[in-house]
Every structure is written in C-alpha cells, then in structure tokens.
C-alpha cells in the first residue's frame, strides 16, 4: 500500500510533482464521478464540452511517471523513445497530435535523466508537431531549449514552462472546437508513459511500478470515454478498439482504494478536494507482459509511418 492524493476537481499534477519530486501523487476518479460521466453520456448521447474538459483535467501528468522511472534505478535508454527522425513520417493531424503527446512524454523522460542533447532534439520534434497542428505559437521554444540545455539546474522551470504551454494549447483547441486534437495529444502522452513504465518494470521488478501500471486501469476507462466520443472518425474508432482490447486485459486487475481524511483547498478561485488514503492492487503473473504487448501494438501503430 502507499499514500495517494485524490483530486476530485484538479487542473494538473505536473506542477506539484516538479516542486516536490519525492511526493507521490496520483489522480483517481471516484465511483461517483464515473456515474456522473456515464449519466451524462447516456442522457445526451455524447459527452458535453464541460464533461470532456473535466475528464481531460483529471488525467495524471506523464511527468510523474518520469520521476518514478528514474527513482527505480534503471538506467536511461534512448532506444525506448520515439526517434525524432520519424517526425517527417507524420502527415495527418491525427498522427501529429498523437505523436506530439508521445514526444512530450519522451522530452520529460530525457529531462529527468538530464540528457540535455536528447532533450534539445525532442524539443524540436515537439515544435514540428505543434507547427503542423497550427498551435506552435503557444510554445516558447527558444526558452524551452535554453532550459533543456542547462540540465538539472532548471528542471523545475522547464517542467513549469512546458506545462503552461501545453495548457494554453489545450485551451485554444477547445475554443476552436478541436477538442479531438487535445484528446489525441493526451492519449499519445498517456500511451507513451504506460509503455515506458512497462518496459522499465520488465527490466527491474518493482512493486511501486507495478502498482502504478495497475492504477492506469482507472485512467484508461476515462480515455476510452473521450476517444469514443469522436469515433465517427474511422481512425478514432480503430484507436478505441485497440484501447478496449487493452481494457479487457486490465479487467482482471483489482484496484482497491480506501479514502482517508479530506479537506478543501482554494487556489486561484478553484476549490480542490484533497484526500489522503491507501490503495491496493492485485496483478496476476503475466498481466505485465499482456499489457506491454498491447500497449506496444498501439504505440507502433502511432509511431510507424
């Protein structure tokens, strides 16, 4: 068991993680929240913009996983990331958005390990994907590049900068009724986080890593809801089918959360409910291999030409 941070109404966990690397934080959707989302979907036939926004904001930041991977003691492995050489292979908005999420997660991974040269290369990849989606103006790439080149000294500032840029991008896409692109960026980032975590867990057995992998069952449910909302698109429908196949693997994994004390915290006019508690997960032998196999299939379909 480990301590949890339960957020009912949250914007992002990346800032909290970057300010305190030793603090473990996880956003877990409660049963009541799931019921509300399900009710909204059933009543209106599709998710409302407000529900979509709430789900997007409730999904944990990939930065948290990057810290966890480094803390496992496993060495940095450049080959696990999507090569920046593949940038020219992505010609559709669908591919660009998914790979923007993947490259953003890889950037966080390289930064955590203080791999400045790789980080700079990945900054360029992120810029190219953002440019292709006409959202490059929301990224201060010159500042990001300088921070990436400075190593661990400005790691917190780099994480803060990239988080702010991504939030501006998300807000803009929602205003332009391009929330599907936000969903794809988020999905790509989450898939890469899960992929990296599973790869590291295969190298070094870790109860903590296995626990985080199991907890993604909850996040996966939310992502499937988002992708399902746009499945009129054939590509989105295929992506949903791949995610549902992953969800079937997760069906046999038990995730039990016991909430503890809760308190209201107001920041910038937003009220957040913070709740401590414990969580237990039960994974059977072979679950990790099955999850890694399916997430690798999904990732390959995204990163290959």
Is 199 inside any structural domain?
yes
Can you give the pLDDT at residue 159?
65
Q: What is the DSSP letter of 232?
A: T
Q: What pLDDT does residue 34 have?
A: 44
| In a domain? residue 222 | yes
What value does the mean pLDDT take over residues 52-80? 80
**pLDDT-derived band at 7, boundaries 50, 70, 90:** very low
- State the chain's maximal CA–CA distance in angstroms: 51
Domain residues for 240?
43-68+86-255+292-305
Q: Per-residue pLDDT averaged across 220-240, rounded?
A: 93
Higher pLDDT, 224 or 148: 224
Pair 98, 188: CB distance under 8 Å:
yes
Kindly state the average pLDDT of the residues 100-121. Answer: 89
Number of domains in the chain: 1
Per-residue pLDDT tens over the stretch 33-51:
444 444 343 333 466 777 7
Instruction: Tell whether 263 is covered by a domain.
Output: no
Three-class secondary structure of residue 9 per DSSP: coil
Q: Kindly indicate the confidence band of residue 173, based on its pLDDT and cuts at 50, 70 and 90.
A: confident
Higher-pLDDT residue of 231, 64: 231
Model confidence at 267, pLDDT cuts 50, 70, 90, reads low
User: Is the residue at 244 inside a domain?
Assistant: yes
Higher pLDDT, 24 or 252: 252
Looking at residues 73-83, what average pLDDT do you find? 95
Tell me, what's the pLDDT at 245?
98
Determine, yes or no, domain membership for 159. yes
What does the pLDDT look like over 24-33, one tens digit per residue?
333 334 343 4
What pLDDT, on a 0 to 100 scale, did the predictor assign at position 152?
59
CB 185 within 8 A of CB 98: yes
Report yes or no on 18 lying in a domain.
no
Q: Which H or E run contains 260? A: strand 254-267
**253-259: long-range contacts, CB 8 A cutoff, minimum separation 24:** 253/214, 253/217, 253/281, 253/282, 253/283, 253/284, 253/287, 254/280, 254/281, 254/282, 255/214, 255/215, 255/217, 255/218, 255/279, 255/280, 255/281, 256/280, 256/281, 257/4, 257/6, 257/28, 259/6
80 and 196 in contact (C-beta within 8 Å)?
yes
The torsion angles phi and psi of 300, rounded to 5 degrees, stand at -60, -40
What's the mean per-residue pLDDT of the chain?
77
CB 14 within 8 A of CB 61: yes
* Two tokens, residue 84: 């920046």
Q: Is residue 31 part of a domain?
A: no
Per-residue confidence (pLDDT) for residue 90, from 0 to 100? 97
Nearest one of 18, 19, 25, 20 to 4, comparing CA atoms? 25
In this structure, what DSSP letter does residue 261 have?
E
The segment with the largest mean pLDDT, out of 58-67, 129-138, 144-153, 291-300, is 291-300
Strand ranges, E, within the chain: 2-7, 254-267, 270-282
Report the percentage of the chain scoring pLDDT > 70.
72
Q: Is residue 138 part of a domain?
A: yes
* Short-list 103, 117, 114, CA closest to 145: 117
Of the two residues 21 and 207, the one the predictor is more confident about is 207
pLDDT at 8 (0 to 100): 18
Model's pTM, two decimal places? Answer: 0.76
- Distance of alpha carbon 147 from alpha carbon 153, whole angstroms: 9
CA distances (Å), 33 to each of 36, 157, 174, 245, 277, in order?
5, 33, 22, 23, 17
Task: Report the percent of the chain where pLDDT is more than 90.
Answer: 40
């Amino acid at each position: 068991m480990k301590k949890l941070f339960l957020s009912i109404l949250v914007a992002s966990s990346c800032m909290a993680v970057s300010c305190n690397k030793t603090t473990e934080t996880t956003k877990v959707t409660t049963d009541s929240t799931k019921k509300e989302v399900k009710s909204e979907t059933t009543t209106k036939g599709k998710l409302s913009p407000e529900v979509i926004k709430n789900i997007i904001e409730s999904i944990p930041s990939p930065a948290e996983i990057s810290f966890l991977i480094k803390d496992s003691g496993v060495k940095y492995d450049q080959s696990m990331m999507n090569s920046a050489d593949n940038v020219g292979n992505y010609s559709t908005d669908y591919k660009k958005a998914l790979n923007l999420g993947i490259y953003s997660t890889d950037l966080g991974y390289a930064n955590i390990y203080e791999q400045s040269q790789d980080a700079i290369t990945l900054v360029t990849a992120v810029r190219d994907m953002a440019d292709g989606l006409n959202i490059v103006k929301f990224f201060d790439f010159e500042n990001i590049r300088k921070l990436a080149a400075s190593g661990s000294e400005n790691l917190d500032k780099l994480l803060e900068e990239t988080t702010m840029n991504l939030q501006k991008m998300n807000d803009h896409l929602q205003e332009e009724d391009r929330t599907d692109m936000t969903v794809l960026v988020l999905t790509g980032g989450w898939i890469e986080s899960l992929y990296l975590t599973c790869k590291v867990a295969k190298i070094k057995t870790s109860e903590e890593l296995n626990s985080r992998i199991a907890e993604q069952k909850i996040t996966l449910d939310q992502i499937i809801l988002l992708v399902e909302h746009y499945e009129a698109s054939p590509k989105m429908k295929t992506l949903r089918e791949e995610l549902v196949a992953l969800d079937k693997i997760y069906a046999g994994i038990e995730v039990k959360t016991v909430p503890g004390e809760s308190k209201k915290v107001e920041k910038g006019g937003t009220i957040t409910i913070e709740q401590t508690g414990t969580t237990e997960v039960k994974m059977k032998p072979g679950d990790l291999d099955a999850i890694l196999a399916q997430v690798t299939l999904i990732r390959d379909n995204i990163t290959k030409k």
